């Protein structure tokens, strides 16, 4: 029995949309004919009214990757995380250890952001990152009213964690920025 023939007029569970006699409210797209070209210049609508992206944006059915996108995907996506000054221990590691003891939930958020940053790179949309200029970056995380900042730089496939603070004021203290810039100069030599 079709939903059109049901007593209350509501569709039944086994009803398929193709068996209903009720008109469909969703728009239908016409398929492209086999002889239709796939490149219509800069337009995004084919002569028969269906949507297709221009040929220049497609390569074998996938979006075309230019050199920059390939570089971001391959090079920037696999960053090794190192702590200043020697790679496995330092002031940022001490800050994170203290944070894990004092505020475990805040530590979990910051540590997850660092992991995502190392896995996906600077251009990740999952973390809040700000460029401070000259290769210095700031990882920003706000959790339970506290603003956590981790200053880092990237060089030779290594993400160097330089300095970390809990920011209490609206502006980042200049002495904290000076510390991060000094450490970045030492790392990038």
Whether residue 149 is predicted with pLDDT greater than 90 in this model: the reply is yes
Q: Is the pTM of this model over 0.85?
A: no
Q: Three-state SS for 71? A: helix
How many CB atoms are closer than 10 A to CB 68?
A: 8
In contact, 161 and 114? CB cutoff 8 Å:
yes
In contact, 101 and 171? CB cutoff 8 Å:
no
Side-chain-side CA neighbours of 183 within 13 Å: the count stands at: 27
The structural domains of the chain, ordered by start, are 38-76 (no CATH), 78-187 (3.30.2310)
Most confident residue range from 9-13, 25-29, 75-79, 168-172: 168-172
- Residue 124: band (very low, low, confident or very high) from pLDDT cuts 50, 70, 90: confident
Would you give the DSSP letter of residue 73?
A: I
Q: What is the pLDDT of residue 155?
A: 86
Tokens 């959790």 locate to 143
| H or E segment to which residue 66 belongs | none
CA dihedral 176, 181, 182, 188 (to 10 degrees): 150
């Amino acid at each position: 029995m079709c939903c059109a023939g049901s007593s209350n007029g509501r569709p039944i569970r086994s009803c398929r949309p193709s068996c209903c006699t009720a008109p469909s409210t969703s728009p239908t797209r016409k398929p492209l004919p086999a002889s239709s070209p796939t490149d219509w210049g800069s337009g995004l609508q084919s002569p028969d009214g269906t949507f297709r992206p221009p040929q220049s944006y497609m390569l074998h059915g996938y979006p075309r990757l230019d050199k920059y996108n390939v570089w971001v995907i391959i090079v920037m996506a696999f960053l090794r995380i190192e702590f200043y000054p020697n790679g496995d221990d330092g002031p940022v590691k001490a800050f994170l250890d203290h944070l894990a003891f004092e505020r475990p939930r805040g530590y979990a958020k910051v540590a997850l952001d660092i992991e995502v940053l190392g896995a996906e790179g600077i251009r990740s949309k999952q973390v809040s990152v700000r460029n401070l200029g000259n290769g210095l970056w700031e990882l920003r995380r706000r959790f339970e009213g506290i603003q956590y900042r981790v200053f880092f730089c990237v060089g030779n496939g290594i993400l160097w964690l330089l300095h970390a603070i809990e920011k209490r004021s609206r502006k980042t203290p200049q002495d904290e920025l000076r510390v991060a810039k000094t450490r970045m100069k030492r790392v990038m030599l």
